[in-house]
Amino acid sequence: MEVEGGPVKSLEDIHFFADLDSKVRQKLETECRWRRVHAGQRIIDFGSETRDVFFVAEGAVSVVNFSLSGREIAFASVEAGDSFGELSAIDGRPRSASVVAVQDSLIATMPSRTFLKVLQERVEVTFKVLKRLSHMVRSGDVRIMELSTLAATQRVYAELLRMAQPDAAVPSLWIVRPLPPLREIASRVSTTRETAARALSQITAAGLVRRKGRNLYLMDRAKLEEVVNALHFAETSQAA
């Protein structure tokens, strides 16, 4: 299958469909619309009545909403291989957030009727969708707790810990690759870019993290966790 600009990846690279028989997957590919979007381009609008499900074949998008003052609040980042838009396809309600490309991306759009038919017929896909929805609920619970109990600086630290993954070359070293723009990090934890920059400067000066190119290395992940937990305890003690 091709899209304007050259050949596209198949749905084999999408987590939900990786285990499907190639013929089944190829049939699903023909029912998708494929398009390239540029960084900053809006893909879904909050409140939209559309029901399609979207799959990120290349690039990354951000799930966002806006406060009454107009400040952008990011709920999640969706990377290549993942999806968004499942909720409206399942419950038929309007979109609960907007989605914006944060990188030039390749998106496959699947009609809701096709997606629901897959859920009805392919139990292996259904379980993967259920796991993803469970993860969304748990992540939401964590973020609500952090907003209720942590100061903005500590929320930045907690977000960095969430984004970090073990370095393949040195498993004991954790890395955020690549480090998102500070504006995006601030949006995820409901604070300002200036606060995110100040928080990052503080732990850099303390030797807990180090920036190298576009990546951020956690030099002492356990210590950073201790800092978040200690500040969390201090905040809750003062509240009590």
Specify the CATH number for the domain of residue 41. 2.60.120.10
Length of the chain measured in residues: 240
Regarding whether 187 and 112 lie in a shared domain, the answer is no
- Per residue in 177-203, pLDDT (tens digit) is 889 889 889 888 888 899 999 999 999
Residue 209, domain member (yes or no): yes
Residue 81 is classified by DSSP as: T
H-helix segments, 84-122: 86-91, 112-121
The residue that leads in pLDDT, 169 or 200, is 200
Structure tokens at 161: 């810990």
Structure tokens at 13: 């690279």
- Does any domain span residue 224? yes
Check whether residue 120 and residue 19 sit in a common domain.
Answer: yes
Tokens 């909720």 -> residue: 87
Is 98 in the same domain as 165? no
- Pair (10, 82) in one structural domain: yes
Tell me the C-alpha distance between 185 and 166, whole Å.
20
- 126, 161, 185 — which closes off a domain? 126
Whole-model pTM above 0.75?
A: no
- Which residues, in sequence order, are CB contacts of 205 under 8 Å at separation 6+? none
| Residues paired with residue 35 on neighbouring β-strands, in sequence order | 107
**Which tens digit of pLDDT belongs to each residue from 113-163?**
999 999 999 999 999 999 999 998 888 888 888 888 888 989 999 999 998
56 near 28, Cβ under 8 Å? no
State residue 232's pLDDT score.
Answer: 53
Residue 27 confidence (pLDDT) above 80: yes
pLDDT for 3 equals 52
Q: Are residues 9 and 79 in the same domain?
A: yes
Residue 46 in domain: yes
Residue 223: strand, helix, or coil: helix
The residue segments making up the domain with residue 70 are 2-126
- My answer on whether 24 and 90 are in the same domain is yes
pLDDT band with cut points at 50, 70 and 90 for residue 237: very low
